[in-house]
A and B are shown apart, each in its own frame.
Chain A
Amino acid sequence: MNPAIIIKDLYKNYGPIEALRNINLEIRDKEIFGLIGPDGAGKTSLFRILTTLLLPDQGKATVLDLDVVRDFKKIRKIIGYMPGRFSLYQDLSVEENLSLFAAIFGTSIEENYDLVKGIYSQIEPFKKRKAGNLSGGMKQKLALSCALIHRPEILFLDEPTTGVDPVSRKEFWDMLRNLKDHGITILVSTPYMDEANLCDRIGLIQNGMILSINTPEKLRSEYPNRLFAIQSEDKFDILQRLKNAGNTHSVFSFGDEIHYVDDRLDITADQLEKMLRELNLPEFKLEQIEPTVEDCFMELLKQN
């Protein structure tokens, strides 16, 4: 089976701004692939090229063996796209929006109800309500239902969880796992690093360049440094002191801990603790820990 999406040497500029620089990427059939990176990294440009809404300057991309430039009409029939901005008709009802999207693709709600049921049934009690009057979480569910109603083979979700609270985000990812089980390939972008763990594979993107393509597990296991977590009541003080300490490779706040990497690569937790004690830091606890995806991303940002 060919990869669902193949991207080769892709470039896109907006005037002097290089939005995408030499992107090479393959998305496998029926996987959840997460494109992880901050605003302005190029995620949306890549989505818009793959959904045939934007022409690349150079390079080539195919979606299910169809060329994004030449075969754009065919591609549009077999993909579902949920853009980052809410893009449904605010003055149509929930049901009218879904019917409209079904009709455009020559199908009906009834025909594909089994696929959207898990999601749509949650907003069905409000089906007469205008889309503009829905809460954020409900809008998101309606948008996903509309992107799915023609049973697409690939789903493109551009930052579906941005600005969404942790509870709704968790529910949304449960829905995505469920869609994967229906055999749909999913390309999803997000600025939240913790969502990376929910993807089969991830690509880290920054400044129009892909920094790494990997499974979340492998990305973490390839982290090049020994990472130490420091806990203290005086976190802010320790952070400032370590920033200016001589052997600091990196030091960052990380929730209720500080994550520290020393530039002496083979230093052990015991050795490090002893050295830090000599700096007369406020009381602290220290242990070596496994990196998160966010640690890996920050290390890659530092290297680039």
Chain B
Amino acid sequence: MIEEIITARDLTKKFGDFTAVNRISFEVKRGEIFGFLGANGAGKTTAIKMFCGLLYPTSGQGSVAGLDIFTEREKIKKRIGYMSQKFSLYEDLTVAENITFYAGIYGLQKKDIIEKRDELTDKLGLGDFENKLISSLPLGWRQKLAFSVAIIHSPDIVFLDEPTGGVDPITRRQFWDLINEAAHSGVTIFVTTHYMDEAEYCDRISMMVNGRIEALGKPSQLKTDYNVESMNDVFLKLARG
């Protein structure tokens, strides 16, 4: 089994003259919760798209779940999960339909799909809402369901792009319980967030500034390195340049 779920070596993406991602190098280990932080426009989304097989890198090397991000992009898509605040579930499908739909796309067998569906709705307390449209659910419930659906095919890694934006503080914490649980079961978590308290919940974080990774380490280590009290201060110090 591969222990390094993501590797990047001098990975670069240019759009014309503009270098969005500038020679980033790092690894993410299996089962790790890795926080991928940075200011708006720092290059996070571009990097994530390369790891998800959606964007062809300009130069460097990289792999996801042992697959090459230049040559094995279609295989990568089957081994990852993805969820963001902006796009998660289909609003005009029901809870059950969304689960069945995603499980089907990821190639689960019919009997597994039914089993997974019941297991999920039970775990999230959505039993009574199985046949309700997603649009009728509160945002927090949707996001918890979206996360569970994003890992329904037991991917090696799940990419979470600002998954908790706009969610109330209690639901935000329940969401992180789900993240922790998934990480314990061996799913690697790659997450971006603008909530700096959530940066503290990560095993390690990286901080991107102008296309480069300027800092990488455990939250406690970064706070010590930059001689500050909170991750918010680390962020302010680094992103100000």
**Chain A interface (Cβ < 8 Å from any Cβ of B):** 37-41, 135-137, 159, 162-170, 191-194, 206, 236, 252-256, 294, 297-298, 301-302
Contact = CB atoms under 8 A, between A and B. Distances in A.
B114 interface: no
Contacts of B232: 166, 194
A272 to B, nearest CB: 21
Instruction: Give the 5 A-B residue pairs with the shortest CB-CB distance, closest first.
Output: A38-B168, A39-B166, A255-B197, A165-B39, A136-B40
For chain B, which range describes its interface: under 10, 10 to 19, 20 to 34, or 35 or more residues? 35 or more
Contacts, number: 85
Interface string B156-193: 00000010011111110100100010000000000000
A255 B41 contact: no
B194 A137 contact: no
B101 interface: no
B140 interface: yes
Interface in B29-60: 38-42
B106 interface: no
A164 B39 CA distance: 8
A39 B41 contact: no
Given A165-B194, A166-B239, A167-B39, A37 B168 contact: yes
Contact of B235 (A40, A135, A167): A167
Contacts of A206: 168
B121 interface: no
Highest count of chain A CB atoms <10 Å: which of B180, B195, B197? B197
Contact of A165 (B169, B173, B176, B235): B235
State the main secondary structure of chain A at its contact with B: mixed
Contact of B236 (A38, A167, A192, A252): A167
B231 A137 contact: no
Interface in B227-241: 230-232, 235-236, 239-240
26 contacts: A38-B139, A38-B140, A38-B169, A38-B171, A39-B167, A40-B139, A135-B40, A135-B41, A159-B166, A164-B194, A165-B39, A165-B42, A166-B194, A166-B196, A166-B235, A166-B239, A167-B236, A206-B168, A252-B173, A253-B173, A253-B201, A255-B197, A256-B219, A297-B168, A297-B169, A301-B168
A135 B39 CA distance: 11
Contact of A298 (B169, B180, B220, B235): B169
B200 interface: yes
A137 B139 CA distance: 25
B214 to A, nearest CB: 13
Contact of A136 (B41, B169, B195): B41
Contacts of A41: 168
A302 B140 CA distance: 15
B138 interface: yes
Contacts of B236: 166-167, 170
